[in-house]
Amino acid sequence: MTSPPTSLTIDIRPAPARVWTPTGVNIYKKHFDKSNEKLKEHISNASIKTYGQIAKVLQVDTVTSLANGRNTFLLAGTGFGKSRIAEMYYQLIPGRYKAVVLVLNPLDTLGDNQVLEKVQAGFTAINLTKLTFNEQTAKEILIGDYQFVYLSPEIFLNSKMFQDLYYSSTFQNRIALIVIDEAHMIYIWGIVESGPAEKTNILSLAPSRQRAFSTVVWETWGSATLSEQ
C-alpha cells in the first residue's frame, strides 16, 4: 500500500511580508530584519540548540511562513512534529509581550496531553474545558500567565466568557499564533464560512490587517479523529 504524502504547506492568505504591529506581538526586530534565507538559518540553528536535532525542512518553512505574517495550512503524518512548530515560532518572540499561542483541539484529552508536553518543554500551558475554565482562569489568561492555551470545542462554541476574553483588546494584543488542530474538525464543529450566523465563524479567528498574528491549520494523515468520521 502506497503511503500518503508526508507533508504539504500552503499559504492561504496573500499578505505583505513581515507585518509589524505597534500594539500587538512582533518577533524580535533582529529576526524581523533578516532575509528569509537568514531567518531559516537561524530557525535551523535554534532547533539544534534547543532540541539537539536538525529541524525538518517543512518545519522551518512553516515557521518562516508564520514569521512572514501568512496564514498557513500544513498537512503532515503522525509523528511529524507539528506541535514543535508552534514552539519554534514562539522562540522568535520577545518575552516582554507575554504572548499567547491559542490552540483549538478536537478532543479534550489531546489538550491534556499537549499541556503536559509543553510543561515538560519549559512552557506554561493550560487546557480549557468546562471543568477548568472559570473567571479566575480567564483573568490569568488575560494577563499572560499561560504561553499556550488549548481550547475545547465546547468552550469555543458555547462559552460567552471565552468570547468576551477572546475579543478583548488586551487578549487580541497578546495573541502570537492561532493553531487549528485537525482541519476536518472545522466542518464538524460547524464553524465554516457557510455555518449558522449564531455560531462563531472560523473566519472571525483570522487576523485583520491591523493584527500581526497568523493562523496555522494542520491536518494529520491517519489521525484518530479523521478515521472516526
Length of the chain: 229
Note whether residue 2 is domain-resident: no
Q: What confidence tier does 41 reach under pLDDT thresholds 50, 70, 90? A: very high
State the Cα–Cα distance between residues 66 and 86, nearest whole angstrom. Answer: 9
Per the structure, how many domains does the chain have?
A: 1
Note whether residue 59 is domain-resident: yes
Examine the pLDDT at 11 and tell me if it is beyond 60.
no
Q: Cell digits for 210? A: 491591523
Note whether residue 179 is domain-resident: yes
Note whether residue 1 is domain-resident: no
Examine the pLDDT at 181 and tell me if it is beyond 90.
no
CATH of the domain at 23: 3.40.50.300
Buried b or exposed e, range 112-123, using 16+ CB within 10 angstroms: eebbeebeeeeb
Q: What is the pLDDT of residue 96?
A: 97
Q: Which residues have a Cβ under 8 Å from the Cβ of 172 and sit 6 or more positions away?
A: 24, 166, 211
Q: pLDDT for 96-152, tens place per residue? A: 999 999 998 877 777 888 999 999 999 999 999 888 899 999 999 999 999 999 998
Domain ranges, residue 194: 7-228
Note whether residue 171 is domain-resident: yes
